[in-house]
């Protein structure tokens, strides 16, 4: 599976850590520098990400888009990608409401791309077993495979869009640790 190109939008603390994990597996991971800060550039370079000046160039080269951005920007970012007629797999891994995930899914799929809804639980991946990425959508298994053998445990879920990011029910284990149960 390496030799795939992934466009990471955008390398904040979590995104850069996810990107570094993918780079460690041999994937080409792009980031878009246009309009981004010096701090973003520094994180991207430290993670081994390859700079693309524009969204157009990144989308032309990528088979997968991984969106990891502040929740308030997730819908606008997805719409910008959809407007460019991206035809690969779009993974929204943002902390958004299920209704927003469904709206993003509709926009992405109407443009001709596959949509995978993702939800990240845990800190930026620096050690195994602490960061989980829940995924649902038609290409969930393909995306989960990208994260095999790295510090992110990718879990493919059955269910409709919105299940990965918004329908996990928090609970508490007997040891007092917060746990998340994926919908069955």
Domains and CATH numbers, the chain: 5-181 (3.40.50.720)
pLDDT for residue 40: 95
Residue pLDDT, tens place only, 9-26? 999 999 999 999 999 999
Beta bridge partners of 5: 28
Mean pLDDT (whole number) for 152-170? 69
Q: DSSP for 50-93?
A: EEESSHHHHHHH-SEEEE---GGGHHHHHHHHHHTT--SEEEE-
pLDDT at residue 27 greater than cutoff 90:
yes
pTM (global) more than 0.85: yes
Q: Pairing relation of β-strands 64-67 and 89-92?
A: parallel
* Residue 104 near residue 115 (C-beta atoms within 8 A): yes
């Amino acid at each position: 599976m390496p030799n795939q190109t992934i466009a990471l939008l955008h390398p904040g603390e979590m995104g850069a850590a996810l990107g570094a994990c993918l780079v460690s597996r041999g994937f080409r991971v792009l980031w878009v520098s246009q309009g981004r800060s010096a701090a973003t550039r520094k994180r991207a370079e430290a993670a081994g990400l390859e700079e693309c000046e524009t969204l157009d160039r990144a989308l032309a080269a990528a088979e997968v888009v991984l969106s990891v951005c502040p929740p308030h920007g997730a819908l606008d970012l997805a719409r910008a990608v959809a407007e460019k007629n991206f035809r690969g797999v779009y993974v929204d891994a943002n902390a958004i409401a299920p209704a927003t995930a469904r709206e993003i899914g509709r926009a992405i799929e109407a443009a001709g791309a596959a949509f995978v809804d993702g939800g990240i639980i845990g800190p930026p991946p620096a050690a195994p077993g602490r960061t989980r990425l829940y995924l649902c959508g038609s290409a969930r298994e393909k995306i989960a495979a990208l994260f095999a053998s790295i510090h992110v445990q990718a879990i493919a879920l059955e269910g409709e869009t919105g299940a990965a990011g918004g329908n996990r029910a928090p609970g508490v284990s007997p040891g007092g640790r917060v746990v998340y149960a994926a919908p069955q």
